[in-house]
Amino acid sequence: MDSSVTKTDRTTTVATATSTSVFIPSPATPYQGDIARYWDHEARPVNLRLGDVDGLYHHHYGIGDVDHAALGDAENSAYEKKLIAELHRLESAQAELLLDHLGPIERDDTVMDAGCGRGGSMVMAHQRFGCKVEGVTLSARQADFANRRARELGIEDHVRARVCNMLGTPFETGQAKASWNNESSMYVDLHDLFAEHSRVLATGGRYVTITGCWNPRYGQPSKWVSQINAHFECNIHSRREYLRAMADNRLVPQAVIDLTPATLPYWELRATSSLVTGIEEAFINSYKDGSFQYLLIAADRI
């Protein structure tokens, strides 16, 4: 056994390279163990090279029109670099839209990022509002990455990622003025998820999700939706499930925005790039045949 790792029945303590010990709760289920491993080992250029543009590392997709003038001619030697910058600009625009829907956040407020990934949205939230941002992810590598970025930016006293299950967070009841899931709700049961957001949010607080969901009007999840599930080991919910689970947990939708037309340019541009991962066709086809939708839902905690 690796001597740097001590295991008890419920927890693992890892001595990191800097010899600080991080306390890692065991995943609640074997599935969560799979997801933790998946994100611990993820290092796709489409994510790392985009993040390198300005140090905001995202694991979500983009929205908005492509700036073809900024991209220039595909024959140009700088085209690849410009294309990466353009995809990254569209991904950051997606996070800005999510933050636009959080409502007024003050410097002394706390907000929670459920499934925070490498922390790009957390940094943006702190830079915009000056508030404290608490993130949770199943992946110790992602949490380390996000906390390292926060230290590099000198904002570690305001931005912190923890290795933790978003269905049972260590935050106090009513502690958060706002909370969100940015493309992280397809890994959990929505009733359990919204029960936890509802607990952590203050009354009058705001919850926002941007997510891909299957369209009940299509009938059942299409083959493209099944392909996306298999690719990411996730379980995409239907739009109806989101609205029902919110209603059952004191979350009242204030805005439901179909971002499908706004995300297609991102996918069509990405499909032409050298950073393709093979999942582009499934997103493009499912958005076009109406079986899948890219949605923002903002809800008030009543």
Ligand X SMILES: CC(C)=CCC/C(C)=C/COP(=O)(O)OP(=O)(O)O
Residue ranges in contact with ligand SAM by CB under 6 A: 32, 35, 39, 58-60, 115-117, 120-121, 136-139, 142, 165-167, 182-184, 187-188
Radius of gyration, CA atoms only, the chain: 19
Nearer to Mg ion, 229 or 254 (CB): 229
Q: Does residue 62 touch ligand X according to CB under 6 A?
A: no
- The number of beta carbons lying within 10 Å of the beta carbon of residue 77 is 6
Q: How many residues bind Mg ion (CB under 5 A)?
A: 1
Which of the choices ligand SAM, ligand X, Mg ion, none does residue 234 contact, using the CB cut-off of 5 to 8 A by kind? ligand X
Query: Does residue number 47 form part of the binding site for Mg ion (CB under 5 A)?
Result: yes
Which residue's CB is nearer to ligand SAM, number 79 or number 128? 128
Choices 41-49, 96-104, 135-143, 150-158 (CB under 6 A): range interacting with ligand X: 41-49
Residue indicated by tokens 């390279």: 17
Instruction: Look up tokens 């800097």; give the residue.
Output: 18
Q: How far apart are CA 1 and CA 21, in angstroms?
A: 18
Per-residue mark of binding to ligand X, 218-237 (x: CB under 6 A): ----------x---x-x-x-
Rounded Cα distance, 94 and 63, in Å: 5
In the region spanning residues 175 to 204, those forming contacts with ligand X, defined by CB under 6 A, are 183, 186
223 close to 250: Cβ distance less than 8 angstroms: no
284 binds, among Mg ion, ligand X, ligand SAM, none (CB under 5 to 8 A by kind): none
Q: Which among ligand SAM, ligand X, Mg ion, none contacts residue 139 (Cβ within 5 to 8 A by kind)?
A: ligand SAM
Q: How far apart are CA 170 and CA 92, in angstroms?
A: 28
Per CB under 6 A, does 262 bind ligand X? no
The CA-based angle 186-135-205, given to 5 degrees, is: 85
- 298 forms beta bridges with 208, 255
Identify which of 209, 7, 187 has the alpha carbon closest to the alpha carbon of residue 94.
209
Catalog residues that contact Mg ion under the rule CB under 5 A.
Answer: 47
